[in-house]
A = this chain, B = another copy of it.
């Protein structure tokens, strides 16, 4: 049974706070283990990589087998049914088209004093994409990570994907092929992150590492941050559906189930102004779960982390949504646009009854790598800007320097940085 709350309950604030603060993943402390793995890869390079890969993934590789060969990729990708290839191609094209609109413009201007100021964007040279193995090995995630990097102009993309027992979903390789990713290694875990960050004989180091992973991968990313850039520390996925009486309970239920079936702490919350909808959705979830092949996983997630919250108004719903700061917010309303300005913290907002979150996971065109665990308070979904960086430009004419010199030298003085002041004043008497 999911949690049922009503904002009129006297203990609502306490119970809602508990829901907000509830942990949905075990915070496994793998810090020391990861530190040791990274040190080992830095010291022994490929040897450590091979040893750790064979130990953790039982993959049976040698150093010369760490990389997938071009033929091997083509052969595996060719086993993927045409229908799947075409679907991935459609997803790719729509993601590409949307992300192309995210490319930033350079901006250079000269102000009234004659100071030239500018922002110039350039692509990161080399990016590493981590793709999980096993259950959460999603070809769609390959596209969501690789396409923005390519649109940004990243010239080298190195993908890593663990192959437990030597196995890989060929659709992963098909997606890589469609995205134009040709450098792929059968490694995973902290050792893969270490190899990408520091380089080995086989794997040249990259400048930034993106992509989700387990506790080892997340901890390794945290530890190598600074040596390379990272995207975010991804947590369990989550959806918040805001619905009123206009919503179809069967559709809302299907969306809550779609989130819950991720397992691993995934959370589905319904916030509604309509008591009858709340009841109907709860019954529908039960009914539909019984039809799902993987019903046990989804049911456990729904029972453990699911919640249905009745509120007095859509304004109140938006207030709760901002406190939850969900990865995905669905507005199952006839006029979703009216509520959008009130939802300030959300990874992505899905508008209206005909936009199930799953459409955004695959073919909507927007990115499905989104901030989780309330980090939409400060973070954005993955995009082209994550693969670029801004360089500021500053240029003074002699007269502009002269006009600014007094203020600058004064501040240098109060900061006890005389050399700073002198680097300005020395240019004035000539």
Task: Give the interface of A toward B (CB within 8 A).
Answer: 31, 80, 83-84, 86-88, 90-91, 97-98, 101-102, 107, 109, 111, 115-117, 119-120, 122, 124-125, 135, 138-140, 169, 171, 207-208, 222, 225-226, 228-229, 232-233, 235, 248, 250-251, 254-255, 257-258, 260-262, 288, 291-294, 298, 336, 340, 343-367, 370-371, 373, 375-381, 383, 385, 389-398, 400-401, 404-408, 410-412, 414-424, 426-427, 430
Contact between B139 and A411, CB atoms less than 8 A apart: yes
- Residues in B with CB closer than 8 Å to A135 are 416
**Copies per assembly:** 2
Contact A355 B398 (CB under 8 A): no
B424:A359 contact, CB within 8 angstroms = yes
Given contacts A135-B416, A251-B426, 19 further A-B contacts (CB under 8 A): A83-B410, A84-B414, A86-B407, A101-B109, A120-B340, A122-B344, A122-B345, A139-B414, A207-B377, A222-B222, A228-B378, A229-B378, A251-B423, A254-B426, A257-B419, A348-B391, A362-B420, A365-B394, A378-B389
**A411 pairs with B352, CB closer than 8 A:** no
Tell whether A349 pairs with B91 under 8 Å between CB atoms, given A417-B258, A420-B258, A422-B258: no
Contact A396 B122 (CB under 8 A): no
Query: Which chain B residues border A365 with CB–CB below 8 Å?
Result: 111, 115, 117, 394
A138 to chain B: which residues have CB within 8 Å?
A: 415
Residue of B nearest to A85 (CB): B410
Q: What distance in Å separates the Cβ of A111 from its nearest Cβ neighbour in chain B?
A: 7
A419 CB contacts on chain B under 8 angstroms: 254, 257-258, 260-261, 292, 294, 298
Most buried by B among A87, A248, A392, A393: A392
Q: Is B84 touching A394 in the complex (CB atoms < 8 A)?
A: no
What's the Cα separation between A354 and B116 when bound, in Å?
Answer: 12
With CB as the reference atom, state the residue of chain B lying closest to A104.
B104
Contact B396 A355 (CB under 8 A): yes
Chain B minimum-CB-distance residue to A289: B419
**Do the beta carbons of B415 and A359 come within 8 Å of each other?**
no
Q: With contacts A378-B207, A411-B139 known, is A393 near B348, CB below 8 A?
A: yes
Q: Is the CB of B88 within 8 A of A349?
A: no
CB of A117 within 8 A of CB of B389, answer: no
Contact A427 B117 (CB under 8 A): no
Interface residues of chain A: helix, strand, loop or mixed (majority):
mixed
Instruction: State whether A254 touches B423 (Cβ < 8 A).
Output: yes
Kindly list chain B residues whose C-beta atoms are within 8 Å of the C-beta of A364: 115, 117, 394, 396, 404
* Chain B residue nearest to A169 in the complex (CB): B414
| Docked pose: A275 CA to B351 CA in angstroms | 64
Interchain CB contact under 8 A, B422 and A288: yes
CB nearest neighbor in B for A116 = B351
Known: A292-B418, A347-B392, A423-B251. A375 touches B229 (CB 8 A): yes
